[in-house]
Amino acid sequence: MSDVTITVTEDITSVTTNETVNPITITEDTTSVSVSAVPPSLTNASSVGVTPYNTLTATNIQDALEELADQFFRSATAPTGSNLAEGDLWYDTDDDQLKVYRETSLNNFEFVPLAAATDTMDNLDGGLF
């Protein structure tokens, strides 16, 4: 972004007095202000751009937040819908278990416990993610 120059000029009316001891002299003043960056007009998170990173493909903050929200869940019932993807995490508040959404058999995806209050845990091959 290029620099923006703002010039403020005031017109001063000439003032004269017939005082000889303390004469008043007023001259025109000009003040210049240089601004190196002007922030964009922000109305909402959709207007703030971001650079896509790793699995986040969004180009604005609103979409990036929504992408993150679609990867991590916390509820008593399992998340459903078209926004689920392999590797999504869900904390099951009913059973106090952290679960990962993964392929358990050919084309069959489900949430499998990763960590639980009991000894029941899933063994995962990290190379599949």
Which pLDDT tens digit goes with each residue over 11-44?
555 555 566 666 666 556 666 656 556 566 666 8
Measured distance CA(1)–CA(12) in Å, rounded: 35
By the 10 Å C-beta count (0-12 exposed, 13-18 middle, 19+ buried), 71 is classed as middle
Asked if residue 10 lies in contact with residue 33, where contact means CB atoms within 8 angstroms, the answer is no
> How many residues are listed for the chain in this entry?
129
Look up residue 103 and give its two tokens.
């392929």
Specify the pLDDT at position 34.
61
Specify the pLDDT at position 1. Answer: 47
DSSP class of residue 11 equals: P
Alpha-carbon distance of 77 to 16, in angstroms, equals: 84
Q: What is the pLDDT of residue 20?
A: 61
Q: How many domains does the chain have?
A: 1
56 part of a folded domain? no
96: left (phi over 0), alpha (psi -120 to 50) or beta: left
Q: Does the residue 8 lie in any domain? A: yes
Does any domain span residue 96? no
| Domain assignment of residue 113, yes or no | no
pLDDT of residue 54: 86
In a domain, 69, yes or no: no
Query: 106 in a domain, yes or no?
Result: no
For the chain (length 129 residues), average pLDDT per consecutive 10?
A: 57 58 60 59 78 89 90 92 90 90 93 71 55
Inside any domain, residue 22: yes
Give the pLDDT confidence score for residue 122 in this predicted structure.
59
Residue-range definition of the domain harbouring residue 26: 4-35
Q: Is residue 14 assigned to a domain?
A: yes
Pair 57, 51: CB distance under 8 Å? no
